Amino acid sequence: MRETIRKILKESYYDQDKLYSKFYIERRLSNAPYNIKKYLNNLVEIDCTDSEGKPHKCVRIPQIIHVYLEGRY
């Protein structure tokens, strides 16, 4: 039981410095309500590389988008 609770807490932890692929965030928010989509325009793009070393754009997301992506909105 304790391990399950620890796993849930670890997965639901919001890290404001974590980088997410902009393409991934745009794709996941394509069907989101307007009040969530409005945050897309304010995301600052950061140049980064993926796991294969290819360059692409990354973003840091606000907590409201993280909550929406976790399904708790």
- Of 67, 54, 73, which is closest to residue 11 (Cα–Cα)? 67
How many CB atoms lie under 10 A from the CB of residue 62? 14
Residue 58 lies in a domain: yes
What is the tally of structural domains in the chain? 1
SS3 6: helix
Q: What is the pLDDT of residue 33?
A: 93
Domain of residue 25, residue span = 15-69
Nearest to 28 by CA among 54, 51, 61: 61
Alpha-carbon distance of 69 to 23, in angstroms, equals 14
Cα distance between residue 69 and residue 29, in whole Å: 8
Give a yes or no: residue 4 inside a domain: no
Residue pLDDT, tens place only, 11-41: 567 888 999 999 999 999 999 999 999 999 8
